[in-house]
Structure 1
Amino acid sequence: MTYAIIEASGKQIWVEEGRYYDLNHIPVDPGKSIILGKVLLLNQNGEVTLGHPCIEGVTIKATVMRHLRGKKLTVFKMKPKKKMRLKKGHRQELTRLMIDSIIP
């Protein structure tokens, strides 16, 4: 089993080949391929390689499947005795990536 821990969109993510992941919005058209180069850890059949901070020469090839919006979060602010009520909603813009291959 091959997996890697990468840094993308300000997060560290455990990725495997053939699975899809939702990341913060990446400005790439759906259907296009991208290469993620910040690989922090790589495990190939039990052989673990750890970067300091990144592993040189290892890349992750991924395809942008689609852009979507995350679950709605409700933010409510209130100041007691001041008649101040504020209700806002937020939906995060996301990009769904399919991990095609891990290239050591």
Structure 2
Amino acid sequence: MKYAIIEASGRQIWVEIGKFYDLNYIAGEPGDRINLNRILLLNQEGKINIGNPCLQSINVQAKILKHLQDKKVTVFKVKPKKNNKSKQGHRQKLTRLLIEKIITKI
């Protein structure tokens, strides 16, 4: 099994070929291909490469499937004894990526 741990959108994500993942919004049109180059770990059938902090010779090629929005988060603030209440909602923009291949340049 071939997988990689990448750093994207401020998170570390375990990615495998053929699966899709939702990350923070990435500018681009659906159908565009992007390269993710912050690879922290790569496992190729039991052979593990660990970066310090990143592996320079490895890229992950992904395709933008679509842009979507996350579930709504409601923020409700109350200040007691002041009769002050505020309610606010937020939906984070996301991009769905399909991992196509993991490219090693060794």
Residue 71 (structure 2) pairs with residue 71 (structure 1): yes
Deviation at 1:75, TM superposition (A): 0.4
Partner of 1:51: 51
The normalised TM-score by structure 1 is 0.98
- How big is the alpha-carbon RMSD for the aligned residues of Structure 1 and Structure 2? 0.5
Q: Secondary structure at the match of 1:29?
A: coil
Match of 1:14 in 2: 14
Structure 1 residue ranges (4+ consecutive) displaced by more than 2 angstroms after TM superposition: none
1:77 and 1:46 map into 2 onto residues whose CA distance is 50
In structure 1, the gaps of 5 or more residues are none
Counterparts of 1:18-57 in structure 2, within 5 Å, are: 18-57=18-57
Once the 2 structures are TM-superposed, how far is the Cα of residue 94 of structure 1 from its aligned partner? 0.2
CA distance in 1, matches of 2:24, 2:18: 20
The structural deviation recorded for 1:12 is 1.0
CA distance in 2, matches of 1:27, 1:3: 25
Aligned residue pair count: 104
Distance in 2 between the 1:23 and 1:5 partners?
14
Whole-angstrom CA distance in 1 between matches of 2:61 and 2:75 = 37
- Percentage of pairs with the same residue: 56
One-letter identity of the residue aligned with 1:95: T
